[in-house]
Structure 1
Amino acid sequence: MVDLGVGQDTTNTIYTDSQSVFVVARNPIFHARTKHIEVHYHYVKERLSAGEISLAYVPTQDNLADLFTKALSREKLEAFRKSLDLLPFVD
């Protein structure tokens, strides 16, 4: 946020259902097995250690972001839509 000229006093919390993010981000030791892990995992690890972000687990079935990123069943779509107070789609 500082790079964008927006200051803030608190850390940003990133909610994720990815267990691999937690494993890599919280492991302070670089192993040969983590050498080929995607760059964004290492970026998260750096930002976490710098105190700029914090991670919080959200179970997959409760991950509202899936509404925008995945094909969902009608029931799950409606439940997430209602959770976000979005209006129903009308033909």
Structure 2
Amino acid sequence: MALSEATQEAVWLKVFLCELGEMASDEAVKIYEDNQGSIALAKNPQFHKRTKHIDIRYHFVREKVEDGQVVLQYVSTTDMLADMMTKAITAVQFQVLRSKLGIQGYRYDLHSVGPQSFLC
């Protein structure tokens, strides 16, 4: 479900960036996915009895992968940057993901701040 929506957004953004001249029309958009089953279904061009029940949205993703408009790449859940905004993670994992985004933290000691430090 989320992969289908991400693919729709990626295709729309690609068309937009191509119109602005910021992206080549033959360049594929890379989508990072942590669900290996979704990637396998999207990359498999054959239809089987087991895949007959699959929602039509996955066929859209499969079509875009076959056309070369979208490339799906697996990223483990622990390395998925979007998870820091959507899932409960440990402080250590938060710091690792934050550093991958290029965001630095700062240390603020509440005990050293007193009323006199705000006076000019």
Structures share fold, TM-score greater than 0.5: yes
Report percent identity of matched pairs: 35
* Regions of 4+ moved over 6 Å: none
**Structure 1 residues 17 and 5: CA distance shift in structure 2, 3 A:** closer
1:43 is matched with: 60
Q: Structure 2 matches for 1:74-85, cutoff 5 A?
A: 74-85=91-102
1:72 and 2:89 matched? yes
Question: What TM-score, normalized to structure 2?
Answer: 0.62
- Number of residues of Structure 1 aligned to a counterpart in Structure 2: 91
Give the corresponding residue for 1:6. Answer: 17
Q: What does 1:18-33 align with in structure 2 at a 5 Å threshold?
A: 18-33=35-50
Q: Which sections of structure 2, spanning at least 5 residues, go unmatched?
A: 1-11, 111-120
**Aligned-residue CA RMSD (Å):** 2.5
Q: Residue 14 of structure 2 contacts residue 29 of structure 2 at CA under 8 Å; is this kept in 1?
A: no
Bigger CA radius of gyration = 2
**Aligned counterparts of 1:27 and 1:42: Cα–Cα separation in 2:** 10
Post-superposition offset of 1:2: 7.4
In structure 1, runs of 5+ residues without a counterpart are none
Comparing both structures, which one devotes a greater share of its residues to helix? 2
Greater relative contact order: 1 or 2 (C-alpha under 8 angstroms, separation 6 or more)? Answer: 1
